[in-house]
Structures are given as structure tokens and as C-alpha cells.
Amino acid sequence: MSVPLATLLEGIPSAELVRGDSLEISSIQHDSRLVDVGDLFVAIPGYNTDGHTFLLNAIDAGAVALVVQRDARSFWAHLPGTYPIVVVDNTRLCLASLAANFFGNPSKDLTVIGVTGTDGKTTTTHFLTNIFEQAGYTVGRLGTVDSYITNVDLANFPSTRLTTPEATQVQGFLRKMVNAGCSYAIIESSSHGLSLSRLDDLAFDTAVLTNVSGDHLDFHKTFEAYREAKGKLFQKLEASPEPIAIINAVDPSANFFLDLASAARSISYAVGIEVSEEVDISAKIKDLRPDGSTFQIAFPEKDVECSIQIPASFNVENALAAAATAYAHGIGIDEIVAGLAACSGIPGRMEYINAGQDFDVVVDYAHTGDAVRKVLSVLRDVTKGKLIVVAGAAGERDPGRRFGVARAAAEIADFAIFTNEDPRSENPEQIVREIGNHAEGAGKTRGKDFLEISDRRFAIARAMEYAETDDLVVVCGKGHERSIELDNQFFPWDDREVVKEEIVRLAKKREDPS
């Protein structure tokens, strides 16, 4: 596949070809290490490095054209050669438009649903996928856990740890969706992805809000800025001919998001609130179990009973968000109920691990104070013995997470082991000690109520050793992820596999103590 450079620049007002002529472009890259022969390299100023410092590296690797910022003239004005140089005002903003043009603006051929919120995005998108498939549609999904298209093998599709990948990957995957005959594209829309223009040039038709609580303040600095970033999804509905806004009515920021999408058809949902003028679709929980939940959904036409295979009251809320979204798109109530019931679980989300042990183990992605609190609160109610938590907080992220995780563990769990979770460039032991200090501030005692073990495997192993019959161990923080980040390097890691390995090791040790 190749596209003329001139075609890529269409609709970008600031783009100026200051040297060279249009030629065929085989791919677009913003990382010089990924450049191949025939590529267009887009130099983006980053937080740690500036892409303009790698212009020559990109050329040496085979780039045939460059896109640079007008204010970075000192980097590109005197470059040797005759290859085309395109100057724009903002290369990050430009990347999204270039990617959309390269892949033929695929979102215009899809009904695009964006799901945003602090928690619940992944679960909601999985529920939605099951509902639409139950109704007979081919669906594409892009998010934290996976990239998915109905009946398509994506084993070779590039993976990323980002909830919202870069614009080139987003647009490329949307093109795959179109080629596979998808009707719907379901996109997890993170605050980072929205702020960094990764979702620009997407024709969103529906915006869904799960909830908003303080998070990512290391990046956004204030709650207001964080909320405004998520609000960009709702502002993008302005371009849709039939915009729909799905809002969690009990979230304190519900009206903020409704105001941003004032022209959209809005549907509100809430758990535990009667249907009224303020709430269109509601649910009443009837039964919460370790293996799922049963609840009653009140649609405008009728009430129906529904069951899901995923535990926790907050997952009832996520299921209701998906139900409201599907209902807004004309999916039948019976198909909605069947689709929710068919969702067997999400990797790393309240995932039960059974390796023959006589105690329960759950792995969950919860990595903020609020998320850990929710998970512990749910598991507290179904734990027969002690509730043991392994948790940490990522480096180079909002330090408030350390306080939140510590307080949640201190107030709800019987015993906690604090450990590392993607320390990045920070000292793992220092992070763990900070969490411990917060737990101590909540009245807990080191050695008696909690331990600090910076090595994550050792922490998990210690939790397995500490657990007794009928206890429940929950390992929080990594969930589905397959790597851990330390000193700017990614190392293979999977909490689920490590848990299984340590359970087996413990069983062998108990059989043969020598």
C-alpha cells in the first residue's frame, strides 16, 4: 500500500511543502527506530525526547520524506539532500490527520462508539461487543486488553500497553475493521489518548461515560483538566449526523458531559435509582455472587431480569452502560440480555485463578485507590476467611495513588503486601515504603498488618504462603498486562502465570519440606 504525499496533506491547513515534490509514501512513522524504506517520518516533540533530533536517523533508515514543526527550524533548515520536507504548526495534531488520510478515513464507514471513564471502560466495551454480536453484527474493538474483530485472527497485529494507541495504529486498525465488514467500532477513549490527539479525525457517533474520579493527575495536574480531557470525546459528537451521549446519571460530573454534547440525543442510566425524568434506564441488584450477579433492568418498555458471569456491583453498572448504549442503537431488549449473559469474563478483570490450591485467588487490574477499594469491598463480602491483598503503585504516576491504595488496603483487607508495579525510573523500594507509611498512618503495623516486599514475585509468593484454607488473595495492579516496566525497559511479566507458578512451587515445598 502506498499513498501520494499530496493526498496525505489534504485538509491540513498549516501544511507547507518547503522542499521537494510529492512522492509515494508506504507508511507513516513517528518513532525513528521503526522507520523503513519508503516511510514518512513525523518528528514529534515529546516529554523526554524531541523527534526532531532523530531526523537524520530516520533518513538513514529509509525515510523518503519528513514532517517537521515550523518552530523547530534549527533542526531541519540545513538538512542535506533533496527529499521532501513538510512544515506544519503542530506535528502531533498533524499525525492524526496524516494517518486518517493514509488509511482513507475509515471511521466514516463505521458507527464509532467511544467509551471513556476512570474505571470500567474495558468491561463495558466487552459487554457491548457481546451484545452487538448477539444481534448479528460484525464488530471491531480497540482497547486496553486487546484488539478484536469478529471472526478475524489478529495474532500478528501489533500490541501496545496503551489504552488508546497512537493515531497511526488507531486508523490502521479501523481500516482493518472496514475491510472485515464491521458495522460498529468500539473504542476505549482514555484521557491521555484524547489529550494527545490520538483520536482526532475519528468520526465518533456515540460517547459513553462510565464514571470520573481523580486519576492521572501526574499528567493532567488537576481534576478539572482531567475531566476536560475526557470531555473532548463528547465534544467530538458535534460532527456526527446522529450523535448519542450515554451518561451515568449518578456520577457527579454527569451534567458537565451532557452540556458538552447538548445537541446529542442523551440516554442516562443508573444502578439503584428508579426510572424517572432524570434516569432513562436503571437496574436493581438482586444477587451478588463470587461467580457473577443477577439484576433487574428497567427499560422504558419493560423490566427484565439479567445475569452476568462477572462479579461485583460496579460490573452491574458497566453492564448497564453497555445495555443503554445498545438500546440507543436499536438493539432488542432480549438480545441485550442474551449478550450480557454471554460475556464470560475479561482477562485480568476479577479473574479467578485455580491451580489446585485450597484458598481463593483473584487477579485484577485495579491500580488506583478507588479501583482497589471497589475490588476489596466486593471481595470482602464473599470471603469466608482472611482477605489478603497484594498491591502497589506505578512510578512516574500520580503519587496520590500510593495514599489511596494504602488506605483501601488498610481499611478493608485483613493483611496487605505492598510491592512494585511498573516502577519505571523511580526507586521501587522507595515507592513501596511510601505506601507502607500511608498504611501506618491509617493505624496499621508493619510486620503484623502489612509487609513491604519490592520484588513482585517474592510478594506474590509470600501471599500464597500466608494464605490458609478459605482465605482469598487478590493480586491487584497488573491484570492482563504481559510486561513490567523498570528503568525504562520492559520485562516479560504476567501476574496470572506467576500466581500459578508460585502455587505449584508452594505445593511442592509442602510435600517435600527438605
Q: What is the CATH number of the domain that holds 399?
A: 3.90.190.20
Q: For residues 398 and 72, what is the distance between their CA atoms, to the nearest angstrom?
A: 31
Sequence-ordered strand ranges (E) for 260-398 = 265-271, 281-289, 292-298, 303-308, 351-353, 360-364, 387-393
Are residues 336 and 216 both part of a single domain? Answer: yes
Q: CATH code at 165?
A: 3.40.1190.10
What letter does residue 197 receive in the DSSP assignment? T
Q: For residues 25 and 447, what is the distance between their CA atoms, to the nearest angstrom?
A: 61
Cβ(383)–Cβ(361) below 8 Å: no
Report the number of distinct structural domains present in the chain: 3
Domain boundary among 285, 311, 342: 342
Are residues 258 and 155 both part of a single domain? Answer: yes
Domain boundary among 342, 363, 380: 342
Q: For residues 390 and 188, what is the distance between their CA atoms, to the nearest angstrom?
A: 27
Cβ(249)–Cβ(268) below 8 Å: yes
Give long-range contacts, CB 8 A cutoff, 24+ apart: 275-279.
275/300, 278/249, 279/249
Domain that holds residue 242: 105-342
Q: For residues 149 and 406, what is the distance between their CA atoms, to the nearest angstrom?
A: 39
Are residues 490 and 505 both part of a single domain? Answer: yes
Are residues 367 and 406 both part of a single domain? Answer: yes
Are residues 96 and 158 both part of a single domain? Answer: no
Are residues 40 and 127 both part of a single domain? Answer: no
Are residues 173 and 262 both part of a single domain? Answer: yes
Are residues 118 and 62 both part of a single domain? Answer: no
pLDDT of residue 70: 96
Q: For residues 504 and 459, what is the distance between their CA atoms, to the nearest angstrom?
A: 16
Domain boundary among 292, 318, 342: 342
Residue-level pLDDT, tens digit, the chain, 514 residues: 899 999 999 999 999 999 999 999 999 999 999 999 999 999 999 877 899 999 999 999 999 999 999 999 999 999 988 999 999 999 999 999 999 999 999 999 999 999 999 888 999 999 999 999 999 999 999 987 788 999 998 866 655 545 568 999 999 999 999 999 999 999 999 888 898 889 999 999 999 999 998 555 555 568 888 899 999 999 999 989 999 999 999 999 999 999 999 999 999 999 987 666 679 999 999 988 767 899 999 999 999 999 998 888 889 999 999 999 999 999 999 999 999 999 988 888 888 898 999 999 999 999 989 889 989 998 998 899 999 999 999 998 888 899 999 999 999 999 999 999 999 999 999 999 999 999 999 999 999 999 999 999 999 999 999 999 999 999 999 998 989 999 889 999 999 999 999 999 998 888 877 6
Cβ(400)–Cβ(214) below 8 Å: yes
Are residues 363 and 292 both part of a single domain? Answer: no
* C-alpha cell at position 305: 431480569
Q: Among candidates 105, 135, 136, 141, which has minimal Cα distance to 123? A: 141
Give long-range contacts, CB 8 A cutoff, 24+ apart: 5-10.
5/40, 5/65, 5/84, 5/86, 7/101, 8/40, 8/98, 8/101, 8/102, 9/86, 9/98, 9/101, 10/101
Exposed, middle or buried: residue 300 (CB in 10 Å: 0-12, 13-18, 19+)?
exposed
Q: For residues 78 and 300, what is the distance between their CA atoms, to the nearest angstrom?
A: 66
Q: CATH code at 84?
A: 3.40.1390.10
pLDDT of residue 157: 60
Are residues 469 and 488 both part of a single domain? Answer: yes
Are residues 359 and 399 both part of a single domain? Answer: yes
Paired residues of 204 in beta bridges: 112
Are residues 360 and 461 both part of a single domain? Answer: yes
